Amino acid sequence: MIYLDNAASTWPKPPGVAEAMAEAVVSFGANPGRGSHQLAVRASRTLFETRKKLAALFGIRNPNDIVFTQNTTMALNIAIKGWVREGDHVICTAVEHNSVRRPLEYVRTKCKADITYVQTDETGILNLDRLVEALRSNTRLIVCTHSSNLLGSILPIAEIAAIARSRGIRLLVDAAQTAGTIPIDVGKMGIDMLAFPGHKGLLGPQGTGGLYIAPDIELEPLLHGGTGSQSEAVEQPTVRPDRYEAGTPNTPGIAGLNAGVQYVLHETVERIEAKEWALTQRLMDGLRGIPGVRLLGPPPEIVRTGIVSFTLEWMEAAQTAFVLDRDYQIAVRAGYHCTPLSHLCAGTMGTGAVRASLGCFTTADEVDALIQAVRELKQKQ
């Protein structure tokens, strides 16, 4: 099988991930932070080691400012629902994923917050003037995806952060498509909160993710419950990360994530980014030469993430993905990719699109196989 659905979850995982998970189950299946025996300490250490690696990767000073979550969605929910208050105004872009849009729409209804969706162009590129025009005196949060999961466009996070900072507004970045594939330094870029998945570019297993919360930000916790700390207190502990990590964590998953992040740190994000960009260009070049193929996203000279979405004028998106899977053993995704907003921008709301997404283990041969398959579909038309 040729796996080109890495934007959903990366696969395969590097050597060491499955082994680390198995070791956590087989050798020290204890509950971290809930006991002082050797096995519980080993489990706690695994969590802290993973936090330290993530902190090194994202330029975070204190690893305890990173909270483990099940995925990006949970991290975004903790940040949005924990920060937005009644009467606040929030700005986001018109290429957000439903995992940003739905919690925002929830707080719009629940807390009478107001939201402005700042339009991008049809390729997913944001004009900063539009963002500035959307600012209001009660704007308290900007939420922005780092890269559109349909169009692959990369949004100018450092510039957005500078605009936010100059007005005392906080910036939450959805790094679902960039953590581990594009360099991120929260300090240098001015990011206040960073929501990231463990199961995509960080090469860990599903069921893992995280949220970085700047030290001076206090969020209302989303979940309340046991943390193994301050057990005598009725309220949720104030200490981080416990305040935002109620309940037993996914220790085996985080052990796997530890190995995934180790691989990324060793390989370096810069090298992964360069490799994926070279293959992305190769795929766009090949598909562009086939009549009737419409490529979505920025023009080829603009760097994007490893996402190439397209429509075929002679075949529906769902049918294309089905035939690629059945006849060519190529796994791509069709439909709306949880981002109807981006389809509105791209003008593909009625049709959806096929999305091929590359990962750090994708090869040139695999990219060529997809190009050849689409060529054959054209010939058979």
Ligand X SMILES: Cc1ncc(COP(=O)(O)O)c(C=O)c1O
**Residues within the interface to ligand X (CB under 6 A):** 7-8, 71-73, 97, 99, 145, 149, 174, 176-177, 197, 209
Nearer to ligand X, 43 or 360 (CB): 360
Nearer to ligand X, 63 or 209 (CB): 209
**Whole-number Å distance between alpha carbons of 276 and 294:** 21
Minimum gap (Å) between residue 379 Cβ and ligand X: 33
For residue 80, what are its two tokens? 């949005």
Nearer to ligand X, 88 or 96 (CB): 96
Give the pairing of strands 307-312 and 353-357.
antiparallel
Minimum gap (Å) between residue 87 Cβ and ligand X: 27
Minimum gap (Å) between residue 182 Cβ and ligand X: 13
For residue 161, what are its two tokens? 């952060």
CA angle 169-170-172, nearest 5°? 140
Cross-strand bridge partners of residue 171: 142
Are the beta carbons of 136 and 115 closer than 8 angstroms? no
Minimum gap (Å) between residue 92 Cβ and ligand X: 12
**Whole-number Å distance between alpha carbons of 46 and 68:** 12
Nearer to ligand X, 64 or 305 (CB): 305
- Is 360 assigned a catalytic role? no
**Whole-number Å distance between alpha carbons of 359 and 10:** 6
Catalytic residue selected from 92, 338, 345, 360? 338
Minimum gap (Å) between residue 203 Cβ and ligand X: 13
Residue 363 burial (C-beta neighbours within 10 Å; 0-12, 13-18, 19+): exposed
Q: 113, 378, 82: which is closest to 243 by C-alpha? A: 82
Nearer to ligand X, 315 or 346 (CB): 346
Catalytically active residues are 338
